[in-house]
Amino acid sequence: MEKETNRFLGDAPIGKLMGKYAIPCIISLLVGALYNIVDQIFIANAAYLGSYGNAANTVVFPLTVIALAIAVMIGDGCCAFVSLSLGKNETEDARKSVGSAVVMTVVSGIALCAVYLIFADPIIALFGGTVNDETFRYSQEYFLWITLGVPFYMFGQAMNPIIRADGSPRFAMASTLAGAVLNIILDPVFIFIFRWGMMGAAVATVLGQVVTAALAVWYLAHMRLVRPAKSDYCMDGHIAGRTLTLGITSFLSQISLVMAMAAINNMLRKYGALDPVFGQAQYAQIPMAVVGIVMKFFQIVISIVVGMAAGCIPIAGYNMGAGLKGRVRSLFTRLLASEAAVGAVALVIVECFPGQLIAIFGAANESAYYTDFALRSFRVYLCMVIFACVNKACFIFLQAMGKALASTVLSMVREVVFGVGLALLLPRFFGLDGVLYSMPVSDALTFAIAAALIARTYRELGRGEQPCPQRGRRIKIPEAG
């Protein structure tokens, strides 16, 4: 029954399918990104928090990404597994995958929350929170309340791609949007009216995450296509292993980003102390606060990029499972072109309007040193953003095709070998500027490898291509959408 219900993934025009699945996914991820970004905007514009609060937000941000990494590994892996299974009409495996994913998410969320609470101070120090006493105090306050929301955050994020795979991308979007809207409403109330400071920003975020998680629980009881039974909500070792394998690229792309941010934060702290300006105690937090803001803008761009690619996972997975390689090739072409266009728009913004971007994050309350470093950071750090967008699309699409190994290797090379390695190496020669150079150099080197994999993927998808179908049956790929 599920295959017949989901058959439109193999019949409908590619362009229309991308719109149906990618747009809600983009909005979901953008809204999810807004949690931390909105916190930082309100924190930055609160005079009693300022750049110290900004720096604390930057310190804690990687720790939320660790939670996200585990969640998307489970959720994206389950999404890919379900889509492939439905394409092969293996509905029982699809149901077991959803059940296993729910169990893994709940257990891992509680475990991570416990680890964070036990080792809070060493973890904060590891991510550069000791740059000065004020930043450390704000980091502790923000981190405590964010940690209490980790199980809810992980559950909502993991279930989101599963809901999309079940054929309800709009509900996935709406559930995330509901939580983010609540966060946006509560942030100014808690920060400016109640003056709860970092705690207020964190509590607003957690309450929004609870709403998203509650809506995901409701959807699990009303799934459209997969409909797992109570007996499916247990751990199936084989299916759980396959699910995690398919999701490992999503995990590595996030967790390696954490490693890169840890390296960057510590290099900012180390080489900032050697700078004649930022070596002064009252300015020590500025490099970390500024780079955190640049990363937030990049997170917006990457949310769009990943949203487009992740939205294509059910389409690519179903058509690969059904042997419709021509449709997968057409989808890949459209995706790469779209991702490059997003990167081009982002490049124009960061090179031409960096002043307007930093103004959003409270630059008016800061010194000229803050503004100068922010302008340079935006223009240098993101100058290869087009390559970054195409690289991300390549990682995720290979994952959707079931090529977990190639996707994982490419992601690891970008985020660990280049991302961490260059962040540690280049500052030795260029000081603080070396931290900024590490991002564009990493993306350019990765693109050289990704281009070869893209060409290879096209050759593979060209073999055994489906013949042109008759009108009213299978839709010819070049004219789709």
Per-residue pLDDT tens digits for 183-215: 999 999 999 999 999 999 999 999 999 999 999
- Confidence tier at 3 by pLDDT (50, 70, 90): very low
Handedness of CA 169, 171, 176, 178 (dihedral sign): positive
Cα–Cα distance measured from residue 391 to residue 386, given in angstroms and rounded to the nearest whole number: 9
Going by C-alpha positions, the residue among 169, 168, 250, 158 that lies closest to residue 212 is: 158
Cα–Cα distance measured from residue 49 to residue 99, given in angstroms and rounded to the nearest whole number: 43
Cα–Cα distance measured from residue 102 to residue 155, given in angstroms and rounded to the nearest whole number: 8
More confident position, 182 or 255:
182
CA atoms lying within 13 Å on the CB side of residue 356: 6
- Confidence tier at 109 by pLDDT (50, 70, 90): very high
- Confidence tier at 299 by pLDDT (50, 70, 90): confident
Tell me the two tokens of residue 109. 């969320």
More confident position, 263 or 169:
263
Given this model, what pLDDT does residue 396 score? 84
For the chain, give every domain's residue range: 14-462
Taking residues 139-163, report their average pLDDT: 95
Which residues have C-beta within 8 Å of that of residue 474, sequence separation ≥ 6? 10, 11, 324, 466
What percentage of the chain exceeds 90 in pLDDT? 44
Cα–Cα distance measured from residue 114 to residue 108, given in angstroms and rounded to the nearest whole number: 10
Cα–Cα distance measured from residue 149 to residue 193, given in angstroms and rounded to the nearest whole number: 23
Given this model, what pLDDT does residue 364 score? 66
**Angle made by CA atoms 100, 103, 109, in degrees to the nearest 5:** 135
Instruction: Locate all alpha helices (DSSP H) within 45-132, ordered by sequence.
Output: 50-87, 91-118, 120-126
- Confidence tier at 24 by pLDDT (50, 70, 90): confident
Count of Cβ atoms closer than 10 Å to residue 428 Cβ: 10
This prediction has a pTM of: 0.76
Query: Could you identify the residue written with the tokens 């299916």?
Result: 239
What percentage of the chain exceeds 70 in pLDDT? 94
Given this model, what pLDDT does residue 471 score? 37
